[in-house]
Chains A and B, each alone.
Chain A
Amino acid sequence: MSNLLSLRPGGLALLAAIIAAGPLVLQNGFHYNVAILAGINAMVCIGLNLLIGYAGQISLGHAGFFALGAYASAILPERFGFHPAGALLTGAVVVGLLAFAIARPILRLRGHYLAMATLGMGIIISIVLDQEVDITGGPDGMPVGDLTLFGQVVSGELAWYWLIGALLFVTTWLALNLVHSPVGRALKAVHGSEIAAAAMGVDVFHYKVLVFVFSAVLASVAGSLFAHYNGFITPDEASFIHSIQLVTMVVLGGMASIAGSIVGAVVLTVLPQMLAGFHDYEMIVFGAILMGTMILLPEGAVPTLAKRIRERLA
Chain B
Amino acid sequence: MRFFRKLTRRAALAMAGVAALTLAHAGTALAGDAKEPIKIGSFLAVTGPASFLGDPELKTLQLYIGKINKEGGVLGRPLKLVHYDAQHLAKKAVTFTRRLIEQDKVDLIIGGSTTGTTMAVVKLVERAQIPFISLAGASVIIDPVKKWVFKTPHTDRLAVRKIFSDMKKRGLSKLGLLSGSGGFDKSCAGNARKLAKDYGITIVADETHGKGDTDMTPQLTRIKNTPGVQAFLYCGFGAPTSIVARNFKQLGMKIPHYQSHGSASMKFIKGAQGGAEGVRLPVAALLVAEQLPDDNPQKKVALAYKRAYESAYNDSVSTFGGHAYDALMIAVNAIRRAGTTDKAKVRDAIEQTKNYIGADGIYNMSPTDHLGLDEKSFVMVEVRNGTWKLLK
> Which residues of A pack against B, CB within 8 Å?
1, 28-31, 33-34, 37, 130-131, 133, 138-141, 143, 230-234, 236-237, 273, 276, 279, 282-283, 309, 312-313
Contact pick for A236, options B47, B91, B211, CB 8 Å: B91
24 A-B residue pairings within 8 Å (CB atoms): A28-B102, A28-B103, A131-B181, A138-B181, A138-B182, A138-B183, A138-B186, A139-B116, A140-B116, A140-B138, A141-B90, A143-B123, A230-B91, A231-B120, A232-B94, A232-B120, A233-B90, A234-B120, A236-B88, A236-B116, A237-B91, A276-B84, A279-B83, A282-B85
Are A313 and B103 neighbours in the complex by a CB distance under 8 Å?
no
Q: Distance (Å) between the CB of A119 and the closest chain B CB?
A: 17
Apart from A140-B138, A236-B91, list 20 A-B contacts with CB within 8 A. Answer: A29-B102, A30-B101, A31-B103, A33-B99, A37-B95, A131-B181, A131-B210, A133-B181, A138-B181, A139-B183, A140-B115, A143-B119, A143-B123, A231-B123, A232-B90, A232-B94, A236-B89, A237-B91, A276-B85, A279-B85
Are A33 and B98 neighbours in the complex by a CB distance under 8 Å?
yes
> Given A33-B98, A37-B95, A236-B91, A230–B120 Cβ distance below 8 Å?
yes
Within 107-132 of B, Cβ neighbours of A (below 8 Å) are at 114-116, 119-121, 123-124
The complex places the Cα of A184 from the Cα of B186 at a distance, in Å, of 50
Q: Please indicate the chain A residues that have their CB under 8 angstroms from the CB of B181 in the complex.
A: 131, 133, 138
The complex places the Cα of A227 from the Cα of B97 at a distance, in Å, of 17
Q: Please indicate the chain B residues that have their CB under 8 angstroms from the CB of A231 in the complex.
A: 94, 120, 123-124
Q: Please indicate the chain A residues that have their CB under 8 angstroms from the CB of B186 in the complex.
A: 133, 138
The complex places the Cα of A28 from the Cα of B121 at a distance, in Å, of 18
Kindly count the residue-residue contacts between A and B in the assembled complex, taking CB atoms under 8 Å apart.
84
Are A230 and B94 neighbours in the complex by a CB distance under 8 Å?
yes
Q: Distance (Å) between the CB of A97 and the closest chain B CB?
A: 27
Q: What 5 pairs across the A-B complex have the smallest Cβ distances?
A: A140-B183, A232-B120, A29-B102, A28-B102, A234-B90
Are A30 and B103 neighbours in the complex by a CB distance under 8 Å?
yes
Q: Please indicate the chain B residues that have their CB under 8 angstroms from the CB of A237 in the complex.
A: 91
Question: Looking at chain A's contact residues, is the secondary structure mostly helix, strand, loop, or mixed?
Answer: helix
Q: Please indicate the chain B residues that have their CB under 8 angstroms from the CB of A31 in the complex.
A: 103
The complex places the Cα of A282 from the Cα of B91 at a distance, in Å, of 18
Are A236 and B85 neighbours in the complex by a CB distance under 8 Å?
no
Q: Please indicate the chain B residues that have their CB under 8 angstroms from the CB of A140 in the complex.
A: 114-116, 119, 138, 183
Within 62-109 of B, Cβ neighbours of A (below 8 Å) are at 83-85, 88-91, 94-96, 98-99, 101-103
Q: Distance (Å) between the CB of A95 and the closest chain B CB?
A: 20
Q: Distance (Å) between the CB of A270 and the closest chain B CB?
A: 11
> Which residues of B pack against A, CB within 8 Å?
3, 47, 83-85, 88-91, 94-96, 98-99, 101-103, 114-116, 119-121, 123-124, 138, 181-183, 186, 210-211
Q: Please indicate the chain B residues that have their CB under 8 angstroms from the CB of A28 in the complex.
A: 102-103
Q: Please indicate the chain A residues that have their CB under 8 angstroms from the CB of B90 in the complex.
A: 141, 230, 232-234, 236
Q: Distance (Å) between the CB of A41 and the closest chain B CB?
A: 11
Q: Please indicate the chain A residues that have their CB under 8 angstroms from the CB of B98 in the complex.
A: 29-30, 33
Are B120 and A141 neighbours in the complex by a CB distance under 8 Å?
yes
Are B123 and A141 neighbours in the complex by a CB distance under 8 Å?
no
The complex places the Cα of A130 from the Cα of B95 at a distance, in Å, of 23
Are A130 and B211 neighbours in the complex by a CB distance under 8 Å?
yes
> Given A29-B98, A232-B90, A313-B3, A139–B182 Cβ distance below 8 Å?
yes
Q: Distance (Å) between the CB of A161 and the closest chain B CB?
A: 13
Are B102 and A30 neighbours in the complex by a CB distance under 8 Å?
yes
Contact pick for A34, options B3, B88, B95, CB 8 Å: B95
The complex places the Cα of A10 from the Cα of B326 at a distance, in Å, of 58
Q: Please indicate the chain A residues that have their CB under 8 angstroms from the CB of B91 in the complex.
A: 37, 230, 236-237
The complex places the Cα of A232 from the Cα of B94 at a distance, in Å, of 9
Contact pick for B89, options A131, A234, A276, A313, CB 8 Å: A234
The complex places the Cα of A33 from the Cα of B93 at a distance, in Å, of 12
The complex places the Cα of A236 from the Cα of B114 at a distance, in Å, of 13
Minimal Cβ-Cβ distance residue in A for B86: A276
Minimal Cβ-Cβ distance residue in B for A229: B94
Minimal Cβ-Cβ distance residue in A for B124: A231
The complex places the Cα of A309 from the Cα of B83 at a distance, in Å, of 41
Minimal Cβ-Cβ distance residue in A for B121: A232
Q: Please indicate the chain B residues that have their CB under 8 angstroms from the CB of A279 in the complex.
A: 83, 85
Are B119 and A141 neighbours in the complex by a CB distance under 8 Å?
yes
Q: Distance (Å) between the CB of B46 and the closest chain A CB?
A: 9
The complex places the Cα of A139 from the Cα of B98 at a distance, in Å, of 23
The complex places the Cα of A33 from the Cα of B100 at a distance, in Å, of 12
Minimal Cβ-Cβ distance residue in B for A142: B119
Q: Please indicate the chain B residues that have their CB under 8 angstroms from the CB of A1 in the complex.
A: 3
The complex places the Cα of A283 from the Cα of B121 at a distance, in Å, of 24
The complex places the Cα of A236 from the Cα of B138 at a distance, in Å, of 19
Minimal Cβ-Cβ distance residue in A for B104: A30
Q: Please indicate the chain A residues that have their CB under 8 angstroms from the CB of B3 in the complex.
A: 1, 309, 312-313
The complex places the Cα of A276 from the Cα of B138 at a distance, in Å, of 28
The complex places the Cα of A97 from the Cα of B88 at a distance, in Å, of 32
Q: Please indicate the chain B residues that have their CB under 8 angstroms from the CB of A233 in the complex.
A: 90
Minimal Cβ-Cβ distance residue in B for A139: B183
The complex places the Cα of A33 from the Cα of B97 at a distance, in Å, of 11
Q: Please indicate the chain B residues that have their CB under 8 angstroms from the CB of A37 in the complex.
A: 91, 95
Q: Please indicate the chain B residues that have their CB under 8 angstroms from the CB of A33 in the complex.
A: 94-95, 98-99
Q: Please indicate the chain B residues that have their CB under 8 angstroms from the CB of A234 in the complex.
A: 89-90, 116, 120
Q: Please indicate the chain A residues that have their CB under 8 angstroms from the CB of B96 in the complex.
A: 276
Q: Please indicate the chain A residues that have their CB under 8 angstroms from the CB of B119 in the complex.
A: 140-141, 143, 232
- Interface centre among B47, B88, B89, by most chain A C-beta atoms within 10 angstroms, is B89
Q: Please indicate the chain A residues that have their CB under 8 angstroms from the CB of B102 in the complex.
A: 28-30
The complex places the Cα of A130 from the Cα of B183 at a distance, in Å, of 10
The complex places the Cα of A16 from the Cα of B339 at a distance, in Å, of 50
Q: Distance (Å) between the CB of B144 and the closest chain A CB?
A: 13
Q: Please indicate the chain A residues that have their CB under 8 angstroms from the CB of B47 in the complex.
A: 283
The complex places the Cα of A273 from the Cα of B114 at a distance, in Å, of 21
Q: Please indicate the chain B residues that have their CB under 8 angstroms from the CB of A143 in the complex.
A: 119, 123
> Given A30-B98, A230-B90, A141–B84 Cβ distance below 8 Å?
no
The complex places the Cα of A1 from the Cα of B89 at a distance, in Å, of 42
Q: Distance (Å) between the CB of B113 and the closest chain A CB?
A: 13
The complex places the Cα of A217 from the Cα of B96 at a distance, in Å, of 29
